[in-house]
Amino acid sequence: MKARVHVMLKTGVLDPQGEAVRHALGALGFTGVEGVRQGKVIELDLAEGTPEETVGEMCEKLLANTVIESYSVEIV
């Protein structure tokens, strides 16, 4: 089984990289891009039957820094 973890900066935390991407899109002529947030996707290959809660623990302990980041887990 696979799990896909999405890690994003929390709402309210400034994302300078996302802002830079937004400016670059504007420079390319794409109008109307009102905001860009950049995050990361981490794919895990897991032994069959690994509980989703275990992936949650992995996020809490290592994959996300919950001071600034939120995460979501998708079993695929």
In angstroms, give the least distance from the CB of 7 to other proteins.
Answer: 9
Q: Is 64 exposed, middle or buried (0-12, 13-18, 19+ CB in 10 A)?
A: buried
Q: Which residues bind other proteins (CB under 8 A)?
A: 13-14, 16-17, 20, 61-63, 65, 67-68
In angstroms, give the least distance from the CB of 18 to other proteins.
Answer: 10
Q: With respect to other proteins, which residue has the nearer C-beta, 28 or 67? A: 67
In angstroms, give the least distance from the CB of 63 to other proteins.
Answer: 7
Distance set, CA 1 to CA 43, 46, 64 (Å): 11, 5, 21
Tokens (6 digits) for 56 = 């949650």
